[in-house]
Amino acid sequence: MHHFRILNRIRQCSKSQLPVQGKNLHAHVIKSGLDLQAPLYPNTLMDMYGKCGHLKDAVQLFDEMPERDLASWASIFTAYNQADLHKRTLSLFSSMLSRDGLQPDHFIFATLINACASLAAFRLGLQLHAQFVVSMFSDDDVVKSSLVDFYAKCGFPDRASRVFDSIVSKNVVSWTSLIYGYARMGRKNEALELLRVMPCKSMYSWTALISGFVQGGHCVDSFRLFTELRRGRVDIEGPFVLSSLIVGSASLAMLEMGKQVHRLAVGLGYECSLYVSNALIDMYAKCSDVLSAEKIFHNMTKRDVVSWTSIIVGMAQHGRADEALSLYDEMILAGLKPNEVTFTGLIYACSHAGLVDKGRQLFKSMVVDYGLRPSLQHYTCLVDLYSRSGHLEEAEKVLYSMPFKPDEAAWLLY
């Protein structure tokens, strides 16, 4: 089979999310004795594994490469970003500079800045911006769009605006990022003016505006704007807008408002949307209507880690520890990997049910089995677990040994 034909087939597997066929092609490459030493084949295979969610295979290929080029680093950075392991992306960047002596190209600049945006890693993002400005890629509009998104998510819409003004070919991403940035900071007039002059408005534009208000804590503004736009017969009823409004209802514990948006979602045929269903589970749980949260969860035909985590946390917060733990077991059997929030809910459930051994076991599993780094919130839950059950010495040991300075909440729980 010709080299280009194999490479094209691997790329097709990447595009169509076909990991099994991709693995078979990988095996064919090995059996045929094709050159896996040069970066071309490993880079293409890494890209395929990353896009198909097989991070472990991508990392193994990367680690085994005797030589790496910029495409190799770009592939592994992208794979980590797609797995939401943005910290790993940024920690690897220094290795690229020191170990292989490579400088970032426009694609790597964009990938790294996207990681900074996801983590709100402001200082590192500033450093990358400075490097980009003096690089040969300083006119690249894709990187500039990433910078607009970065500054918007870090709460600096005016900086985002200055970068935005320098973009020659402004795309939907740069427009919506800037709209989101102003909305998130509660600067309604600037956000609306941008939306007014935006050449090609779409559902993404309205979603950026509404979700910006919600995520910035300006939920009342988001509801008012949504109502005004509907009265003006603006077509903004998409699943992402609706899920943002449901999140806003949860933040304000406005059950009746959440129910209204729920009815609207059903009327528009979005009740089966994963985003809408996940937001509804969280909203009903936070508004103490656990039965409705359960009903939505059990009626879902497709669930992701957010679905499971939302119902687990909801059960935990309402004293139903046994059900939360049972749901966790079902989640693992379904082949889903828990995240940091899942374990926060589980340890909280164990704390309030006096299940010390189980809580201790889950904390250990989070680190050993899933490679998750415990946050201050996890350690605080662990202190609460021990304190509530009278294990004060163990609680004190956690307080003084954890890799964080205990906050007021941690000391109050002791």
Give the domain ranges of the chain: 1-94, 237-302
Q: Retrieve residue 114's tokens.
A: 């996207």
The length of the chain is 414
> In angstroms, rounded to a whole number, what is the distance separating the alpha carbons of residues 175 and 384?
45
Please name the residues in contact with 170: beta carbons below 8 A apart, sequence gap of 6 or more.
141, 164
pLDDT at 287: 95
Check: CB of residue 260 under 8 Å from CB of residue 284: no
pLDDT at 2: 64
Check: CB of residue 142 under 8 Å from CB of residue 109: no
Distance set, CA 43 to CA 61, 78, 94, 109, 312 (Å): 9, 12, 20, 18, 39
* Residue 229 neighbours by CB distance under 10 Å: 17
The residue type of 26 is H
Q: Retrieve residue 342's tokens.
A: 């899942």
> In angstroms, rounded to a whole number, what is the distance separating the alpha carbons of residues 310 and 17?
27
DSSP 3-state of 167: coil
pLDDT at 35: 61
- Average pLDDT per block of 10 residues along the chain, 414 residues long: 76 86 84 68 89 90 89 94 90 88 94 97 97 97 98 98 97 95 94 92 85 90 83 74 92 91 91 94 96 96 95 95 96 93 95 93 94 89 90 86 71 54
pLDDT at 150: 98
Q: Within its chain, how far is the Cα of 392 from the centroid?
A: 36
pLDDT at 36: 61
Distance set, CA 104 to CA 70, 108, 144, 383, 404 (Å): 7, 5, 15, 43, 33
Handedness of CA 215, 221, 223, 226 (dihedral sign): negative
pLDDT at 408: 58
Q: Retrieve residue 27's tokens.
A: 């095996």
> In angstroms, rounded to a whole number, what is the distance separating the alpha carbons of residues 349 and 321?
5
Q: Within its chain, how far is the Cα of 135 from the centroid?
A: 29
pLDDT at 160: 98
> In angstroms, rounded to a whole number, what is the distance separating the alpha carbons of residues 312 and 290?
11
By C-alpha distance, which of 386, 388, 380 is closest to 406? 380
Distance set, CA 257 to CA 184, 185, 230, 318, 335 (Å): 21, 23, 15, 21, 35
Distance set, CA 340 to CA 260, 371, 375, 405 (Å): 31, 10, 8, 19
By C-alpha distance, which of 1, 9, 77, 80 is closest to 45? 9
Using only the alpha carbons of the chain, give its radius of gyration: 24
* Residue 393 neighbours by CB distance under 10 Å: 9
pLDDT at 396: 85
> In angstroms, rounded to a whole number, what is the distance separating the alpha carbons of residues 348 and 387?
12
- Find where tokens 């290929």 sit: 61
pLDDT at 107: 96
Handedness of CA 376, 381, 386, 392 (dihedral sign): positive
Distance set, CA 106 to CA 1, 45, 119, 128, 300 (Å): 33, 22, 20, 11, 41
